[in-house]
Amino acid sequence: MHPRQVTFVIFDGFQPLDLAGPHEVFAAAGYRCRIVAARPGLVRSPSGLPVHVENGVSGTAPSGVDTLVVTGGPGVDAARRDRALLDWITAAAVSARRVTSVCSGVLLLAASGLLGGRRVTTHWGRRDQLVREHPELTVDCDPIFIQDGRFWTSAGVTAGMDLALALVEDDFGRDVAHAIARELVLFLRRPGSQSQFSVPLWSAQPASDPIRAAVRAIHARPGARHGIGDLAERAGLSTRHLQRRFTAELGVPPAAYVERVRIEAARRALAEGDDTIEAVARRCGFGTAESLRRAFHRHLGVPPSDYRDRFQSAKEYV
């Protein structure tokens, strides 16, 4: 049986880790890896790292592509104007078993007309552009990767390695994926539903002292009382004024912000400690295990017990 072929698409201005990270994962699993670009020769990344590509797409038809991986990077906007490259990606996707993107590579897939109506993710910094330019897509930048049929899209940079491990597991099973993660000293295995944001990243920073005081109080003790009245008292504002200013400065209302901070605290507690789920729920402000379970399903798509199992089993392979 011939090894499956993984074909990477790169371009001037590609992100090197979008290529190198998944490439090493697939190579370790025995796939045959091939790199293509618009033209053969040196292809440069923004940092100046050159990659010599033997295969240009001009005048060639895709062949043998099992998994197509489209990288991202600052050069993706210029690459989207290369009609020959887009046509080649479209032709390769027709026969490929799986079509994937890393980071902003999803913009190339979208420009090729391959993603109509699908749910996708990308690097959080490209979210607004993707939503604006492709309203036909359902864009969810919380998960680190998303599968919609045979299309898989992932968040920024290192999430491409998480995606590659998931694809290896899909083909060869958990033990093979674990062995590769162990060899490459990767944290196995972040589920696709895991958020690509920690709280300081997904939220804006407060612009005024009163809102900063409220935010500090939430982070200092996630499990404490943080109702609108409590936060207003800490900020020295009326409840109505606090609600309006908090939402304006951070982009989310106070209650939503509190829940996200509590989820982050619960995730750390589940991954790093041995307390019962009931104890974690009480300490992190959810009150009951059922409330914690509902919040995890709402934000992460998995129950707390599954989240703990995945992360605690992963520790063995770091």
Q: Which residues are catalytic?
A: 103
The answer, yes or no, to whether the previous bond of 308 is cis (omega within 30 of 0) is: no
Task: Please give the backbone phi and psi of residue 145, each rounded to the nearest 5 degrees, phi first.
Answer: -155, 155
Is 159 in contact with 108 (CB distance < 8 Å)?
no
Q: How far apart are CA 187 and CA 317, in angstroms?
A: 7
Is 168 in contact with 116 (CB distance < 8 Å)?
no
- For 163-185, give one letter per residue: b (16+ CB within 10 A) or e: bbbbbbbebeeeebbbbbbeeee
Q: Output the DSSP codes for 201-256.
A: HHSPPP-SHHHHHHHHHHHH-TTS---HHHHHHHHTS-HHHHHHHHHHHHSS-HHH
Considering only CA atoms, which of 68, 103, 67 is closest in space to residue 86? 68
> Cβ neighbours of residue 101 under 8 Å, at least 6 residues apart?
69, 70, 71, 72, 108, 109, 120, 122, 152, 153, 154
> Cβ neighbours of residue 49 under 8 Å, at least 6 residues apart?
16
Is 261 in contact with 219 (CB distance < 8 Å)?
yes
Sign of CA dihedral 47, 52, 58, 61: negative
